[in-house]
Structure 1
């Protein structure tokens, strides 16, 4: 596939302070979840297929993860991908409601993706997100497949959805649904941002993305 970009490269130069803070928090979260599970870096590498060097760089905020990388980590560590999101203000957070100005964010600067959680914190049978894909943004460089199901609706812009090596260009108003066992990935090959409502059902009783 052409134009997918590489979202898993180690940092070549320091970013701005906000991006560095996001990467630092992500790295600390990965390390704490790994240690809580009693896994070594090698254990996580074996479970995800990622290299030990990549995992070490992520934990030290020296690499920028893609959505695919975080999906693999969430599966290996048995947590929802929302564990990697910025934490919301715990004061008076409704149990079943998410207000627009209280959405938890996941900014993946390397991938060009901003992911907003539309479902409340805590485990459930599905997760709902609003994705903003900047020009050239992608889910990563490799296909992903796992159990569960995915669906979505294009709010604006264009999304190129790859399903089993076949590309489908979706425009505003288009929608989709597919089993997550189908090898899949996505990107935005255009010069304008795209916004997508993204739904993921969770595999069995464990959370995935």
Structure 2
């Protein structure tokens, strides 16, 4: 097997048939959460800073959101970002354990990112993910900040973590933690797939 074919094998496939269904399910989830909160598209746009056209396209599965966009929506709709994940198995509501085969997935095809939820479904003060980033994959083009903390560990490849407009290159085995109020974003500037354990707290630290 050549190096090129190995990279192609490891790269997230953007043309898998399940991608279409994933975008549709994600759009329906955004719409239902918005309606449940009694908010119009215009009100959600004001809360997130996104355009009404973008939110409308997301709800109709005509656009794929970035990691940053989903975080903005989760804050505006007052739900954990895990609400946007697809179910791979019927979870036990009393379970504290997540089996690998039962991980909930979130495919952000346009961003080159796949997020796998490692924490059980339900409300909590912490979210744990495994992120897989294609070459060039990123959280989006803009910086994000909100309450809480974030931390992580690079399992494989390299991650470029931007904190307050300063870039930090993290290699396999490196880790990080920072207040989420620090403007931040991330990307994979290499030609190799990167995998990162990512932790987010949902409440301010005291």
Could you state the TM-score of these two structures normalised by the residue count of structure 2? 0.89
Unaligned runs of 5+ residues in structure 2 are 1-14
Aligned residues: 191
Q: Structure 1: how far apart are the matches of 2:148 and 2:69?
A: 18
Matching of residues 150-189 of structure 1 within 5 Å: 150-189=150-189
Q: Compute the displacement of 1:17 (Å).
A: 3.2
Q: Structure 1: how far apart are the matches of 2:93 and 2:52?
A: 37
Q: Structure 2: how far apart are the matches of 1:90 and 1:159?
A: 33
Could you state the TM-score of these two structures normalised by the residue count of structure 1? 0.88
Q: Once superposed, which parts of structure 1, at least 4 consecutive aligned residues long, lie more than 6 Å away?
A: none
Q: From the two aligned structures, give the one with the greater helix fraction.
A: 2
Q: Structure 1: how far apart are the matches of 2:143 and 2:123?
A: 25
Matching of residues 25-36 of structure 1 within 5 Å: 25-36=25-36
Q: Compute the displacement of 1:20 (Å).
A: 1.2
Root-mean-square deviation (CA, aligned residues, Å) is 1.5
CA deviation string 1:88-129 (max 9, x = no partner)? 322656610001111111111011001001100001111111
Matching of residues 124-135 of structure 1 within 5 Å: 124-135=124-135
CA deviation string 1:122-164 (max 9, x = no partner)? 0111111110001000000100001100000000000000000
Partner of 1:117: 117
* Greater RCO, CA 8 A, separation 6+: 1
Q: Structure 1: how far apart are the matches of 2:55 and 2:93?
A: 33
